[in-house]
Amino acid sequence: MIKKILVPVDGSAHSVKAVELASDLASKYDAEIILLHVLLRGHMPDGLKRALEVEVGQRKDGAKNLVNMPQEIMARVGSKKDAQLSIDELNFLGKYVLGSVARICQDKGVRKVEERVEEGNPANVVIKVAEDAGVDMIVMGNRGLSDLQGLLVGSVSNKVSHLAKCTCVTVR
Ligand SMILES: Nc1ncnc2c1ncn2[C@@H]1O[C@H](COP(=O)(O)OP(=O)(O)OP(=O)(O)O)[C@@H](O)[C@H]1O
Ligand SMILES: [Mg+2]
């Protein structure tokens, strides 16, 4: 039986696909979903911007609300190409992304959705939350926000799929 599904979300289109698949499974099995975002320290704001504005925000099905991201945040994310965002801004963006994908879960009829924003090494945090919460399954993207061409699997999904003690599904 699948009772709890963990979905790590970095805001990339891959992670949104993971949310969609997890939601379909959760509706079928009457399972709950934990959405987890680990603060994107060190990520380039233009990568984040792409993820938030293009990949998620302009999707026709689902998370339309990201289009309404407050202008001051979009302006800041868009203009500081090489700078890193402050912790407060990263927190805000993480909560914003989770709030948006949570609506996908609700639209697909998921009964219970928990949103968690954490700090740390993303793969380690995913593994720890999976074990502490006793999830039955992790559903994540095979790739994320990074633009590296040629990589089939990102470092976070690679590490999680090796270390997870539960079923781990990576979507393409
Ligand atoms: N900071 C994060 N918070 C939550 N989930 C994450 C985070 N980073 C990655 N993920 C999850 O892992 C999946 C794969 O992303 P990953 O980071 O492994 O690939 P990448 O960004 O393409 O490559 P890399 O980060 O290794 O350069 C994402 O689709 C998402 O489900
Ligand atoms: Mg990544």
Can you tell me the distance from the alpha carbon of 58 to that of 42, in angstroms, rounded to the nearest whole number? 25
Which tens digits make up the pLDDT trace of 4-43? 999 999 888 889 899 999 999 999 999 999 999 999 876 6
Locate tokens 């740390």: which residue? 120
The token pair at 33 is: 């979903």
The token pair at 106 is: 């609700």
Q: Are strands 167-171 and 4-8 parallel, antiparallel or unpaired?
A: unpaired
Task: Tell me the longest C-alpha to C-alpha distance in the chain.
Answer: 47
Locate tokens 């090796």: which residue? 162
- CATH number of the domain that residue 66 is part of: 3.40.50.620
Question: Which residues have CB atoms below 5 A from the ion given as ligand 2?
Answer: 144, 146, 154
User: Which has the minimum average pLDDT: 82-91, 102-111, 127-136, 137-146?
Assistant: 82-91
Which tens digits make up the pLDDT trace of 113-133? 999 999 999 999 999 999 999
User: Which has the minimum average pLDDT: 49-58, 90-99, 111-120, 135-144?
Assistant: 49-58
Which tens digits make up the pLDDT trace of 74-104? 666 655 544 567 788 788 878 888 988 898 9
Can you tell me the distance from the alpha carbon of 21 to that of 14, in angstroms, rounded to the nearest whole number? 11
The secondary structure element, H or E, covering residue 75 is helix 71-79
Q: pTM for this one?
A: 0.88
Range of the domain at 157: 4-171
Count of structural domains within the chain: 1
Pocket of ligand 1 (CB under 6 A): 8-10, 12, 14-15, 18, 36-38, 40, 122, 140-141, 143-146, 148, 154-157
